[in-house]
Amino acid sequence: MKLLARLLATIVITLAGTHAWALDTEPFSKERFDTLQSNGTPVLVDVYATWCPTCAKQRKVLEAYQAQNPESELVVLDVDFDDQKEWVKHFKAPRQSTLILFSGGKQVWFSVAETREEKIFEALNQATMATP
């Protein structure tokens, strides 16, 4: 019985630790985006594809940002490059791995294939500090 309890505790701790490092995102929807914009919440639109290696590198950087800034109000909305072509076009994303940052209801940063942590962190920090 003790062995089973220890095993379950180990599984729970492992899963909790895994979740803590997973990128917290939401699927893009116009309604959610509009609500966040009207509230002035900083929003990062991530035009993402599961098969994209550059997107995977960006995800690692965004995970690190969220881990280092747990109090941040930044919301990451995923636009699926393959299945949401109307939004890819709307945001003028030339390809997957496009990041578009909004703060105070305005677009403040646009990047394609940027994977350098310092550049992404700089943009996110400026956007999140600019919000009231």
The residue with greater pLDDT, 1 or 44, is 44
- The C-alpha atoms of residue 42 and residue 26 are separated, in whole angstroms, by 14
Work out the mean pLDDT of the chain and round it to a whole number. Answer: 87
Contacts of 104 (CB under 8 A, 6+ apart): 40, 130, 131, 132
Domain 23-130 has CATH 3.40.50.300: no
- The C-alpha atoms of residue 123 and residue 69 are separated, in whole angstroms, by 14
- Cα→Cα distances 13→4, 17, 23, 83, 130, Å: 14, 6, 18, 35, 36
pLDDT band at 1 (very low <50, low <70, confident <90, very high): low
pLDDT per residue over 82-105, tens digit each?
Answer: 999 999 999 999 999 999 999 999
The domain ranges of the chain are 23-130
Q: What is the pTM of this model?
A: 0.82
